[in-house]
Amino acid sequence: MDTLLPGISAERMPTNRLTVNVLSLPDRTGLAVLFVHGNVSSSLFWQPMMLALPEPYRPLAIDLRGFGDTDDEPIDATRGLRDFSDDLAAAIEALRLDAVHLVGWSMGGGVVLQYLTDRPDRVASLTLVDPVSPFGFGGTRGVDGILCDPYGAGSGGGGANPEFVERLAGKDRTDKSPLSPRQVLLAHYVKPPHVPEHLDIFVESMLSTRTGEWWYPGDSRPVDAWPGFAPGDRGVLNTMAPTHFRIADLSGVEPKPPVLWIRGADDVIVSDTSLYDLAYLGSLGAIPGWPGEQAWPPQPMVAQTRAVLNGYAVAGGRYREAVIEDAGHGPHLDQPDRFLAELTSHLAGA
């Protein structure tokens, strides 16, 4: 099937690191707004928002390595999200862009946050859309992201559901199982009962995810601590393990571009009660042997992000938190008008 919407163009572009796939509106010039997708997705999820973005902005969207039509170079998780953010920097250089407005969704929010940390002078503004916590995904407690276990047990590649990985690798386009990519999208990417207009394209986007220990989900290692595994050093989920990815303090970033943190009120993926957080699932009795609230409470993902952004503000930066009601993990999908209003207001203010 044709996965590009009318008006959108795709180009595989060589950089000094790898060849990346970039979506654009060919006739559009102006201030570059670069959209970065999240895990188990690709740039295709951003197409409706790219088309809706008004002049004077030039919308662009990139596929990260191992997703979409970008090269499937191996992912070194010991660098946290830096393989992705360095690829992003190489693409921005190849596009000959100056400071850009960056919009990062979910894992992509962590990627653009890492980019900001390493290259603050190249960021015109930052928009975080339901971003992964600055302390990674899983295995931490408290707003300062203390590790529940020194090896990061309960996070990383071992946390993926094997049936979901199998269906992803097998290009399952059906709705036969709750773990079919289509059903996962409808249950968790958006707030039910919303059905996105371009659902089939978004499913194809999910199915473009490369699977294996170097890609999704990555490897893991056994440990004695609950729940029995710790992060490995390769692949997507390990890039967000709290032992590899941690941005505890943004106070030293200079200059400090304005930040918009926008999130769906009903997100069940990045949440203080995330259905993907093994500690929260343990507290519900879904995973046996949970050590309890004192030793291993659910990760307060939203509270952790707020704490780090508050530190950014105290140090002279500015950020705004926008919560979109009746929206899930992808508010640009189930509440696009409200999302666009928040984004354009932010861009105008920057």
Asked if 231 and 160 touch (Cβ cutoff 8 Å), the reply is no
Say if strands 9-14 and 19-24 run parallel, antiparallel, or are unpaired.
Answer: antiparallel
Which residue carries 């662009």 as its tokens? 60
pLDDT score of 338? 98
Q: Where are the domains of the chain?
A: 9-148+246-349
Domain 9-148+246-349 has CATH 3.40.50.1820: yes
299, 280, 300: which is closest to 290 by C-alpha?
280
- Tell me the mean pLDDT per 10 residues along the chain, length 350: 96 98 95 98 98 96 98 98 98 96 98 98 98 98 98 98 98 97 98 98 98 98 97 98 97 97 98 98 97 97 98 98 98 98 96
pLDDT score of 118? 98
pLDDT score of 1? 87
pLDDT score of 143? 98
Asked if 76 and 219 touch (Cβ cutoff 8 Å), the reply is no
Asked if 294 and 142 touch (Cβ cutoff 8 Å), the reply is no
